[in-house]
Structure 1
Amino acid sequence: MRLTKAQYDEIVQFITKLRPTRQCMRLLKERFPCQSQSTLLSIFSQEYQKLTKRTHAKHHTQEAVEMYYTRYLNEVAKDSTTPILLALANEVEFSPALMARTVLERFLQDHDGLPPSKQILSGMLRDPSLIPDPVLANQVHLCTINDCCNGPLVDCIRHSIGHEHEVLLREKLKKHNLAFLDEDQLRVKGYDKTPDVILEVPVALDGHVIHWIESKASFGDETSHHMYLQDQFWSYWNRFGPGLVIYWYGFIEELDCNSERGILLKDEFPENLVTLKSCMAQNNDHGRNTKDCLSESNQETA
């Protein structure tokens, strides 16, 4: 789904008024009924991530950490059955999963006398039963399952969704009988940084030749797209030539401004691809050369 910059800004402005709870998606859908649920969720998640980055420093000062830990100890001594960490995270407008991580890290430092390794900390967040204190384990679990934008549960969901769309891309390519190499095959060949697929025989789309395709199971906003351009897309262009990026949950229309330079944006798998095989067939039927056929086909699909 393509959105104009004005439409996107309107959604973002509404999101700033919402608290990061699971109920916010119902409010978003009521306010923007014409937008898909997946698009709204992706935009909301991205905006919440931006907020988390902007406020990260103030929640990780020594004073803030000690205050959160002391509040937790005092409250849990009164009643260990209430969701203390979750309530505290909502009170200070901090991600519940990150609040759990902060307090758990401080607890383990007290418990073991040394700061825990990232591996141990991450393992306990993924599986709270590993936490030596059952009360804190329950508190961490409540934070994890109630955070819709951060934490190991959300990371697992994101990974699964990304993998699902990569599989969808490969299925679409096979359906169109297009030969390609995926990331695993390319790594075997020694490539260290690659798009999701490289087409063994290029295709044409909207008057442009496509050598590779990248799948993004997210919405393409300005921040993420410019980051991808710098870190990935231009690198792919330098190595493999022009390519296609599919933002499955949509993107801001105005960002599709690099097609003449060799990077096209779509919000679904394009059905109007022009293959070399189809051009050769037309060439045999009408006595034209392949270059002319490609040119004519591209003009028809543009």
Structure 2
Amino acid sequence: MKLSRAEYNEIAKFTEKLRPTRQCLRMLKERFPRTIFRHHTPEAIETYYKRYSFVMRVLLTKYSLMQSIFSVDLSPALMARLILDRFLQDSNSGTPSKSVLNSMLKEPSLIPDQTLAKNIYQCTINDCCYGPLVDCIKHAIGQEHEVLLRDKLKGRNMSFLDETQLRTMGYDKTPDIILEVPVAVDGHIVHWIESKASFGDDYSHRTYLNEQFWSYWNRFGPGLVIYWYGFIAELDCQRDRGIMLKECFPEDIVTLYQAVCHAHVFV
């Protein structure tokens, strides 16, 4: 759902005035009702599918699924998913598995109906927010920053194991980098580094903490998370508990060798 800056500011101002009670969410929903849930009701999906099926029979290839998006406030890739899901239910007499649905969205040539396949492809390549193409772009950006991190470590002659090496050693859930010799950053010990090619907002950081970072801390000790596209400054509040945030590769790294040399100077 697209929001104008004025609409976004209105929501932000309204949220700031809310007291932290159980009624907050209800008040937000009443003031700013979301429409996406209406699109996923069985009645709405049936309406979209019948509309698409009818015009395709009447107008044949002169009509595209993209044209139906203009009258519906929904992402093209999400609309394509709804239509394809409903089409497969008709074809296979049952709800398709998520893996089958995802594989067809990624590779529309697998769809038995060629016209629908073209429409699905058109929707996915014209969606700048959702869909398999956007997922590929996000994945590629993530990979680029992981390579950047490894290059930075090699440039500092730091010994490390990356995620691929750790998987071959039998680890199932690991950070991107584990340092074979810990270092110090801003006076805090770092055993591992996680690369995030995204902005760290409240929701995403909280999710990462619960699903990734704390488990890394439990297994490997304190670590560093690099949000390459920045983060909300107040989120960097777990340093004393073992999780530090940075927006770039730290320059003030103290290695064990440097620490030993420094100690000798004062002996």
What TM-score do you get using the length of structure 1 for normalisation?
Answer: 0.73
Following TM superposition, by how much is the alpha carbon of 1:74 offset from its aligned partner in structure 2, in angstroms? 2.3
Counterparts of 2:173 and 2:7 in 1: how far apart (Å)?
Answer: 36
Aligned residues: 240
- Give the corresponding residue for 1:217: 197
Change (3 A) 1:108 1:172: same
Deviation at 1:176, TM superposition (A): 0.6
Residue 88 of structure 1 deviates from its aligned partner by 2.7
Q: What does 1:20-31 correspond to in 2, within 5 Å?
A: none
* Alignment gaps of 5+ in structure 1: 1-11, 18-53, 289-302
- Hey, what does 2:187 align to over in structure 1? 207
Taking the TM superposition and a 5 Å limit, the aligned residue runs for 1:144-163 are 144-163=124-143
Map 1:44-123 onto structure 2 (within 5 A). Answer: 56-81=36-61, 84-123=64-103
Q: Distance in 2 between matches of 1:87 and 1:206?
A: 55
The RMSD of aligned alpha carbons is 2.1
Question: In structure 2, what is the equivalent of residue 24 of structure 1?
Answer: none
Shift of 1:76: 2.3
**1:126 and 2:106 aligned:** yes
Structure 1 pair 142–249 and aligned structure 2 pair: CA distance change class (3 A): same
Aligned to 1:167: 147
Alignment equivalent of 1:189, drawn from 153, 169, 193 = 169
Q: Are 1:271 and 2:262 matched, yes or no?
A: no
Describe the superposition over 1:118-150 as per-residue Cα deviations: whole angstroms up to 9, x where unpaired. 333222211212222222111111110011111
Per the normalisation by structure 2, the TM-score is 0.82
Matches for 1:5-16 after TM superposition, within 5 Å? 14=5
Amino acid at match of 2:261: A
Residues 126 and 152 in structure 1, CA contact (< 8 A), matched pair in contact too:
yes
Task: Answer whether contact 2:55 2:63 (CA < 8 A) is retained.
Answer: no
Tell me which amino acid in the other structure corresponds to 2:5.
F
**What residue in structure 2 maps to residue 140 of structure 1?**
120
Distance in 1 (CA, whole Å) between partners of 2:71 and 2:113 is: 24
Q: Which structure exhibits the higher relative contact order, with contacts defined as CA atoms closer than 8 Å and separated by 6 or more residues?
A: 1
**C-alpha distance in 1, partners of 2:62/2:261?**
71
Cα distance change, pair 127–16 in 1 and its aligned pair in 2 (3 A):
farther
**Cα distance in structure 1, aligned partners of 2:59 and 2:111:** 19
Please report how far the alpha carbon of residue 59 of structure 1 lies from its aligned counterpart in structure 2 after TM superposition.
2.0
- What does 1:222-233 correspond to in 2, within 5 Å? 222-233=202-213
Q: Is the 8 A contact 1:219 1:247 kept in 2?
A: yes
**Equivalent position SS for 2:189:** strand
Structure 2: stretches of 5+ with no match in the other structure: 9-33
Of the three residues 253, 266, 270, the one matched with 2:233 is 253
Post-superposition offset of 1:16: 5.3
Is the 1:247–1:268 Cα contact (8 Å) retained in structure 2? yes
State the percentage of identical aligned residues. Answer: 60
- Determine the C-alpha separation between the residues in 1 that align with 2:92 and 2:207: 40
Question: For 1:81-115, what per-residue CA distance to the aligned partner results, in whole angstroms no more than 9, with x for missing partners?
Answer: 45642233343221211111111121122223333
Tell me the secondary structure at the aligned position of residue 253 of structure 2: coil
Contact in 1 for aligned 2:56/2:63 (Cα 8 Å): no
CA contact (8 A) 1:210 1:244 kept: yes
Q: Select which of 214, 224, 236 maps to 2:216.
A: 236
> How far apart in 2 are the matches of 1:110 and 1:207?
62
Give yes or no for contact 2:76–2:124 (8 Å, CA) kept in 1. yes
